[in-house]
Chain A
Amino acid sequence: MSTLVKVDSITKNYKTFVLDKVSFTLESGHIYGFVGENGSGKSTTMKAICGLINLDKGQVLINDKNLKELEPSDREKLDFTPDEICLPDNLKIRFINKILKDAFDNWDENLFFKYLKTFNIDENKKIKELSKGMKAKFNIIVSLCHNANILILDEPMNGLDPVARDEFCTLLSDYIDEDENRTILISSHIISDLEKICSDFVFIHDGKIILTEEKKILESSFLKLDLDEDSYDVFDKNIIIRFKKTGRNYEVLLANNNENQSIIGIEKASAEDILIFLIKGKTL
Chain B
Amino acid sequence: MIKKVRGLLLKDILQTKSYFITNSLICLLFLALAIFEIVLMFDNSALPGSDAEQLDLLKSFINSSFFYFCIFPIYSSSGIALCFQQDERCNFDKFAISSGISRKLIVNERVIFGAIASIPGVIFTIVAAILVSMINNPYVSSLTGLYLALISFGGYFLTIGVSLTLCTFLGSVKGRIWTSLATILTFLLQTVAFVLYAAFGIEHILQGSIVAIGFFTISIAIFIGAYFLSLRAYLNKDF
Binding site for B on A (CB under 8 A): 47, 50-54, 72-73, 75-80, 82, 84-91, 95, 98-105, 146, 148, 152
B4 at the interface (CB under 8 A from A): yes
| A84-B91, A91-B15 as given contacts; A100 in contact with B97, CB under 8 Å | no
When the two chains form their complex, are residues A85 and B90 in contact, meaning their CB atoms are under 8 A apart? yes
B95-106 toward A: CB 8 Å interface, digit per residue (1/0)? 111111110000
B1-33 toward A: CB 8 Å interface, digit per residue (1/0)? 001101110110011000000000000000000
* B231 → A minimal CB distance (Å): 15
When the two chains form their complex, are residues B7 and A51 in contact, meaning their CB atoms are under 8 A apart? no
| A102-B3, A102-B10 as given contacts; A88 in contact with B86, CB under 8 Å | yes
Question: Which of the residues B8, B11, B90, B97 comes within 8 Å of A52, measured between beta carbons?
Answer: B97
B232 at the interface (CB under 8 A from A): no
Binding site for A on B (CB under 8 A): 3-4, 6-8, 10-11, 14-15, 86, 90-92, 94-102, 236, 238-239
When the two chains form their complex, are residues B100 and A91 in contact, meaning their CB atoms are under 8 A apart? no
When the two chains form their complex, are residues A72 and B238 in contact, meaning their CB atoms are under 8 A apart? no
- B87 — nearest CB in chain A belongs to which residue? A88
Question: Which of the residues B3, B90, B97, B101 comes within 8 Å of A87, measured between beta carbons?
Answer: B90
When the two chains form their complex, are residues A52 and B239 in contact, meaning their CB atoms are under 8 A apart? yes
Q: How far is the CA of A77 from the CA of B90 in the complex (A)?
A: 22
| A47-B239, A99-B7, A102-B7 as given contacts; A89 in contact with B99, CB under 8 Å | no
Q: How far is the CA of A75 from the CA of B97 in the complex (A)?
A: 9
Instruction: Report A-chain residues with C-beta under 8 Å of the C-beta of B92.
Output: 86-88
Q: How far is the CA of A90 from the CA of B11 in the complex (A)?
A: 11
| A91-B15, A99-B10, A102-B3 as given contacts; A86 in contact with B90, CB under 8 Å | yes
| A52-B238, A52-B239, A53-B238 as given contacts; A90 in contact with B97, CB under 8 Å | no
- B101 — nearest CB in chain A belongs to which residue? A103
Q: Could you say which of B98, B101, B236 has the most chain A C-beta atoms within 10 Å of its C-beta?
A: B98
Q: How far is the CA of A51 from the CA of B234 in the complex (A)?
A: 13
Q: How far is the CA of A152 from the CA of B100 in the complex (A)?
A: 13
* B228 → A minimal CB distance (Å): 18
Question: Which of the residues A47, A73, A80, A84 comes within 8 Å of B99, measured between beta carbons?
Answer: A80
